[in-house]
A and B are shown apart, each in its own frame.
Chain A
C-alpha cells in the first residue's frame, strides 16, 4: 500500500474513503473473521438501542425489480449486551468502529451513548434519526429540524467522541436537518438513509413485507444521494458521509466529487462481503490512471 491517497475525517487519516454502512456489517466481527475488512476505513455497527429489540415479524426483506426493500425493525440485543459481548469482540477489529444508535424517544439517544461511553472501543457514533418518534405519533425524528437539533445537543452533552447524524430522505428537508444537526453540535451528517418503499401483490392486494412498508435501497438511487450530498455539503461545514446506491468505484469518486468526505457501502456488502477491498482497489486504480 505505497499509494499516496488518503482521506480524513474526525482528525484521523485513512487509506480508504470507504465506510461500511450500518445494518450490513453487524459489528464487523464476522467480516473480520473472514479477512473482509481490508479496504474499509471504518465499520458502522448495526443500530443499538437501550433495550433489546427482537425486530419486525417476517418477511423482513423482499427484492423488487430494481432494488431491495427491508423492514428489519432495528433488531439488536440492546446496549447492555453490546457492551458485554459485542464490543469486547470488536476490540480486535483492524479498523475503527462507529456505533449506530437508535431510539424511540429523544432521551433514548443520549441514554444509549452515555452507556457506550463506558467502553474504550467506539471511535464515534452515528445517530439514526430516521426511526419513528413514538412520542410524536411515529413521525421520524429527522422530519423536524428542531428535534434533530435537540437530539444533537443532548448527544453532544454526554459524548466525549465525535458523532454523525444519519438523516432521512423521507420527511422534512434534508438540508434544514443537516444545518440543525450542525447547530446542535454534530461532527458530521450521514446523507442519507433508505427511501420509504412498498411492494404489493396486485392479485391479493397484500403487501409482501409483513410490516407493509420498508426501506428501499438500490444502485439506481445513486443520483438521489449525489444530489443530497451536493446540497447538504454546500449548506454545512461539518463532513458529509454519503450513503446510498454505491456499488462501483466510480460511484465513490462521484460522491466525493459532489462534496462527501467519506462514502458508505451498504446493501452491496450483502452481495459482496469483501466489497471494501475490491472497491478500494478500484478507486486507487482510477485515481492512478487519471493522474498526469
Chain B
C-alpha cells in the first residue's frame, strides 16, 4: 500500500510503500522492486524501481516521470494498494572503509540506502540543473550542474581530476550510460577494479526468465540486468557496446 507520496522536485516523486518485515530483511542496497503500476491491463508489464531506502516496515522509491508507466504511478494516490515483487536482483557488495559514490541525475536514487550501510563516503553528484538534483542526506557532497544553477557548472567528469582515488575502498557509480562510460574511462585502473555500477534496462519479467533486459558483457555475450545485476562490477560490462541503448 502507498503510505507516502511527495513530488520532491518538478516531475520527480518519492513514494513510500508499506511492506513485510521479510522484505525489509532482504532489501539490500542496489536491489529493486517490480511494481504493477496499474490495476487495468495496460501497461502490461511491471516497472522496475531501485530501492531508495527502507525505514521500519516501509520502502521508498524515487522516480522521474519519463513514460506511461511512471505517469500512471505518479497519478496514484496514497492509500491505494499496488502489487509489488521483490526485493529482486543483486545489490552492492559492501566492504568496510570509505566509499566514493558517483551519481548522475536520477542515478543517485538508490544512494540513500547505500549511504546507510557504508562506514563513510563522499558523494559526487551531477545533474542537468537544480531541478534534477537529488538531495542525499548523510554524505559529504560535491554537486555540479550543467547549467550552473546549483554547485559548480559543468559535467560530473569535471570533478574527477581532484579525486584521490586510492583513498576509497569501494566506488558506486550510477547514472545515464554515457555518463557512466565517461566516468569509468577516466578512472585509473585500480579504481575501475573496485567500481560497482547499478545498471538500468527496459525489463520484462524482472526475475531472470524473459531475457529482455540484456546488458553487453565484457568479452562478448550479455548479462541479465535483472538477475545477474542490476549492480555489476564495472569491469564486467562492455561499455563500447552499451552506446545508444537508451
Chain A residues within 8 Å of B, Cβ to Cβ: 23-26, 30-31, 46, 54-55, 57-63, 65-68, 70, 72, 75, 210, 217-219, 247, 267-273
Contact = CB atoms under 8 A, between A and B. Distances in A.
Nearest to A71: B212
B212 A61 contact: yes
B85 A273 contact: yes
Given A75-B214, A270-B204, A271-B36, A54 B41 contact: no
A58 B208 contact: no
7 contacts: A30-B208, A54-B222, A58-B222, A59-B202, A63-B43, A70-B204, A219-B41
Nearest to B208: A30
Contacts of B43: 63
B129 interface: no
Q: Which of A63, A217, A269, A273 has the most CB of B within 10 A?
A: A63
A65 B210 CA distance: 20
A30 B209 contact: yes
A57 B44 contact: no
Interface string B118-152: 00000000000000000000000000000000000
Given A68-B44, A219-B44, A271-B45, A58 B245 contact: yes
B211 A72 contact: yes
Nearest to B47: A63
Contact of A67 (B44, B204, B210): B44
B209 A55 contact: no
A55 B41 CA distance: 28
A23 to B, nearest CB: 7
B218 interface: no
A270 B209 CA distance: 9
A54 B204 contact: no
A59 B206 CA distance: 15
A43 B3 CA distance: 38
Contacts of A63: 43-45, 68-69, 202
A217 B210 CA distance: 14
Given A58-B214, A75-B222, 16 more contacts: A24-B209, A30-B208, A30-B209, A31-B209, A54-B221, A59-B245, A60-B214, A61-B202, A62-B202, A63-B68, A65-B42, A72-B210, A219-B44, A270-B45, A270-B210, A273-B207
Q: Which of B83, B85, B204 has the most CB of A within 10 A?
A: B204
A24 B205 contact: yes
A63 B210 CA distance: 14
A247 B222 contact: no
B205 A54 contact: no
Given A24-B210, A219-B44, A270 B205 contact: yes
Contact of A61 (B46, B208, B210, B215): B210
5 closest pairs, A vs B, by CB? A61-B212, A26-B209, A270-B205, A219-B41, A75-B211
B203 interface: yes
Contacts of B210: 23-24, 61, 70, 72, 270
A247 B205 contact: no
Contacts of A72: 210-212
A57 B212 contact: no
B143 to A, nearest CB: 31
Interface in B173-224: 201-216, 220-222
A57 B241 contact: yes
Interface string B22-51: 000000000000001000011111100000
Contacts of B45: 63, 68, 267, 270-271
B203 A61 contact: yes
Contacts of A210: 245
A65 B68 contact: yes
Contacts of A25: 209
B203 to A, nearest CB: 7
